[in-house]
Structure 1
Amino acid sequence: MIFNDLELETKKELHKELTTYANSIGGINYFLSMLEEIRKEKPNCLLNKTATFPYSQGKISWNKSIYKDTLTLLFSAMRKEEKDGDMLSGISTNDYRNTMNMMKTLKPVGLTIRPKNSEDGEGFSFSILDASQSKKTKVSLIFKIIFFYNVDFAKNVLTYENTQG
């Protein structure tokens, strides 16, 4: 996803939402440094068996272990969703079944990000999958920003200023 290609309203909403999340863990710099630490972690921090990832300014936790096959399938589905707008359209029967199983597995998984110092904020929670529209489950945008998109995308969102009035 390219931030500059988004519609004005989408940019405004995304900026507001991400700024709120960033401020809840200590501000933009804390948020961006968290993203940098997530990117450096090999293998992916979501594969931690303890379902937690401590970073320098806080901790990310989730309520269920995620396995490598599931995460690989999720990232493939995200790429397809980015390209085609839907992670399920036009895929083979076997891939469809695997993707549906991955979605069933990840649907109840919620992530919580808390700062070390409670004075920095309350933190925030979000789900991996956004099932707000029936039959149109997508990967939540905040999940993509934190674990999938380039850090520059988050920087563009957070530094966006509405110059259209």
Structure 2
Amino acid sequence: MDFNKLDKESKKDLHEQFIQYSEILGGSNFFLTMVEEIREQKPNPLLNQSGAFHTSKARVVLSKSIYKDTLTALFEAIRREEKNGDMLDGVTPKEYKAAMNMIRTLKPVQITFETKSEEGKTFTFNILDTSVEKKTRVTFAFKTIFFYHLDELKKVLFYKGT
């Protein structure tokens, strides 16, 4: 998803959401640093069996651990969603079953970021957005923090509504 192609209201909402996230962590630079640290971790920190991992500024906890096949199916679903607008568009029957299993598995999963400061502030979001019936999407926050290029995150954080 290209942030620049969204309507002004969506841009404003996402900007406010990410500004709130960055303020909890201590500012935009700390937020960007945390995202870079997450991406540098190998193997992917989402695959950590305990469902938790650390950066210099935050502890990240998943409400349920994710396995490699689920993460692979999620990545493929994100690619289909970006290309076709729907994560189930153009899937074969075999891929459909894997995609539905991934959706059922990840639907309740929440990711919580807890600061390491004394206040211990947190913010939480789901991996999947199921707010629209029969239309499951991967949340923009998840894609931006874990998959999209860092420039996309910078566009959101430093958006100037005109």
Q: Same fold per TM (> 0.5)?
A: yes
Question: 2:3: which partner in 1?
Answer: 3
TM-score scaled to structure 2, two decimals?
0.95
Deviant stretches of 4+, over 3 Å: none
For the pair 1:13 / 2:35, whether they are aligned, the reply is: no
Distance 2:121 2:27 in 1: 12
Distance 2:118 2:98 in 1: 40
Question: 1:68: which partner in 2?
Answer: 68
For the pair 1:85 / 2:85, whether they are aligned, the reply is: yes
Secondary structure in structure 1 of the residue aligned to 2:135: coil
Question: 1:140: which partner in 2?
Answer: 139
* Cα displacement string for residues 37-81 of structure 1 (whole angstroms, at most 9, x for unaligned residues): 111111111001111110001100012111111101101100110
Question: 2:157: which partner in 1?
Answer: 158
Deviates more, 1:18-27 or 1:1-10: 1-10
Secondary structure in structure 1 of the residue aligned to 2:64: coil
Question: 1:105: which partner in 2?
Answer: 105
Secondary structure in structure 2 of the residue aligned to 1:38: helix
Gaps of 5+ in 1: none
> Given that residues 80 and 89 in structure 2 are in contact (C-alpha distance below 8 angstroms), is that contact kept between their aligned partners in structure 1?
no
TM-score scaled to structure 1, two decimals?
0.94
* Cα displacement string for residues 88-132 of structure 1 (whole angstroms, at most 9, x for unaligned residues): 02211111111000110111111100010034x622011111111
Percent identity reads 51
* Shift, 1:6, TM fit: 2.2
Question: 1:95: which partner in 2?
Answer: 95
Secondary structure in structure 2 of the residue aligned to 1:132: strand
Secondary structure in structure 2 of the residue aligned to 1:113: strand
* Aligned amino acid, residue 139 of structure 2: S
Q: CA RMSD in A?
A: 1.2
Question: 2:50: which partner in 1?
Answer: 50
* Aligned amino acid, residue 71 of structure 2: L
* Aligned amino acid, residue 134 of structure 2: K
Secondary structure in structure 1 of the residue aligned to 2:91: coil
Secondary structure in structure 2 of the residue aligned to 1:24: helix
* Cα displacement string for residues 109-162 of structure 1 (whole angstroms, at most 9, x for unaligned residues): 11100010034x622011111111111011111111111111111111111112
Deviates more, 1:21-30 or 1:45-54: 21-30
- The count of corresponding residues between Structure 1 and Structure 2 is 162
